[in-house]
Amino acid sequence: MAEVSADRAVYEGRVNAAMDYVEAHLADELTIETLAQVAHFSPFHVHRIFSAVTGETIGTFVSRVRIERAATLLTARPDRPVTEIALETGFANPSSFSRAFREAYGMSPTEWRVGGRAGHERRSQDPAADPTPASLAERGRFGVTGTRLSVETGRTVWDVAAGTLGLVSVRVEPFAHTEVAYVRYTGRYQGMGEVFSELYARLMTWAEPRGFVAPHTPLFNLYHNDPSLTDDDRLRLSVCIPVPAETSPERDIGRLAIPAGDVAVGRFELGNDDYPEAWYAMAAGWLPDSGYEPDDRLPFERYVIGREAQREDAEVLDIDIPVRPLRRY
């Protein structure tokens, strides 16, 4: 990961703010004037600057994020009409949504909803880089092996077989609204050990002098995209640390909020190559038998400063999937 100059960091921070605004306002009319104001660039120059920093135009980015959000909602919210999802994600009418969706995924929104997504995911996997669900399933047993009640909370705890990672415990607990500062990364999610080190070095260099780092401070990796829907070079994640609500963004340090709600939490001890298996254990091993379903919030990983792993090449972290009770139709 190349070192970012001070001037370029300012540009990247402003463009990240515009991208965050788009994600939070997909149903709104996203004009050049509005995004230029958010990014603190003139409307005349914002197009060129956005393209230079991200490698895609503002229009392409907005369209892609709208389509990807719609694709997720179509399967995550089968109770909602296609027209409602189209309007929520910023499309003027169902016909324009259907045209854009077919152009992106080669099928209609309805076909996607009734099973087309699975075929797209299989085709989108890169076996040389990312393990496929089939190859992960071959690593051992995945699934719920038992449940018990937590003595501390009285809530259900699931024991989950996680392939070669062994048995892990999963719980559902409330997550409080958390204001965070972040450093943003764009690119492939796999094989990121050195990238994470550099991202957190930049974040800590900023956070420590301001008194935001202390024992047991949580750190978050917030994932903005589903790798089965987004091209590898467009995947985005934010490494985050909690900050007071009045904290202002600076240069490449952005600001956003992780919203409140229930999350499914699985605690793992992972080396660099273990992450796909851990996420598969949560999504394919725990979720189908849990009585819960994912909601629309972004998933994340949570680290705690000072928590020690038993393996030298591993870290202890929680995988958090925002959930709601499973609805039956």
Q: How would DSSP label each residue in 33-91?
A: HHHHHHHT--HHHHHHHHHHHHSS-HHHHHHHHHHHHHHHHHHH-TTS-HHHHHHHTT-
Enclosing H/E stretch for 171: strand 167-175
Do 203 and 318 belong to one domain? yes
Interval 82-124: pLDDT, tens: 999 999 999 999 999 999 999 999 999 999 988 766 666 544 5
Q: Once rounded to an integer, what is the mean pLDDT over residues 31-43? A: 92
pLDDT of residue 137: 59
Q: Which of 292, 229, 218 is nearest to 258 (CA)?
A: 218
**pLDDT of 12 strictly over 70:** yes
**pLDDT of 172 strictly over 60:** yes
Local confidence band at 127 (pLDDT 50, 70, 90 cut-offs): very low
From CA 1, how far away is CA 246, in angstroms rounded? 31
From CA 83, how far away is CA 70, in angstroms rounded? 11
Do 104 and 18 belong to one domain? yes
pLDDT of residue 21: 95
For residue 25, being part of any structural domain is answered with yes
At 255 the three-state DSSP class reads: strand
The residue out of 124, 158, 187 marking a domain boundary is 124
Do 10 and 99 belong to one domain? yes
pLDDT of residue 136: 61
- Percent of the chain whose pLDDT exceeds 90: 53
Do 79 and 180 belong to one domain? no
For residue 77, being part of any structural domain is answered with yes
**pLDDT of 133 strictly over 50:** yes
Task: Please give the mean pLDDT across all residues of the chain.
Answer: 87
Give residue 271's domain range: 172-325
pLDDT of residue 216: 86
pLDDT of residue 236: 92
For residue 136, being part of any structural domain is answered with no
Do 114 and 205 belong to one domain? no
**pLDDT of 169 strictly over 90:** yes
For residue 116, being part of any structural domain is answered with yes
The residue out of 62, 92, 124 marking a domain boundary is 124
From CA 71, how far away is CA 65, in angstroms rounded? 10
Interval 212-230: pLDDT, tens: 998 889 999 999 988 878 8
pLDDT of residue 1: 54
Tokens, residue 329: 């139709």
**pLDDT of 191 strictly over 70:** no
CATH number at residue 318: 3.20.80.10
Interval 49-68: pLDDT, tens: 898 889 899 999 999 999 99
Do 100 and 233 belong to one domain? no
The residue out of 124, 151, 186 marking a domain boundary is 124
Local confidence band at 128 (pLDDT 50, 70, 90 cut-offs): very low
- Percent of the chain whose pLDDT exceeds 70: 89
Most confident of the following: 132-136, 273-277, 278-282, 305-309: 278-282
pLDDT of residue 129: 47
pLDDT of residue 122: 44
Do 115 and 182 belong to one domain? no
The total number of residues shown for the chain amounts to 329
Q: Provide the phi-psi class of 4: left if phi over 0, else alpha when psi is between -120 and 50, else beta.
A: beta
For residue 68, being part of any structural domain is answered with yes
Do 119 and 177 belong to one domain? no
Domain count, the chain: 2
Do 214 and 321 belong to one domain? yes
Radius of gyration over every alpha carbon of the chain, rounded to an integer in angstroms = 20
Do 28 and 88 belong to one domain? yes
CATH number at residue 56: 1.10.10.60
Q: Once rounded to an integer, what is the mean pLDDT over residues 160-183? A: 94
**pLDDT of 181 strictly over 50:** yes
- pTM of the prediction? 0.79
Do 41 and 117 belong to one domain? yes
At 246 the three-state DSSP class reads: coil
For residue 185, being part of any structural domain is answered with yes
At 131 the three-state DSSP class reads: coil
pLDDT of residue 194: 78
For residue 139, being part of any structural domain is answered with no
Do 98 and 176 belong to one domain? no
At 242 the three-state DSSP class reads: strand
For residue 165, being part of any structural domain is answered with no
pLDDT of residue 58: 94
Contact 121, 228 (CB under 8 A): yes
Q: Which of 156, 141, 170, 118 is nearest to 282 (CA)?
A: 170
pLDDT of residue 48: 86
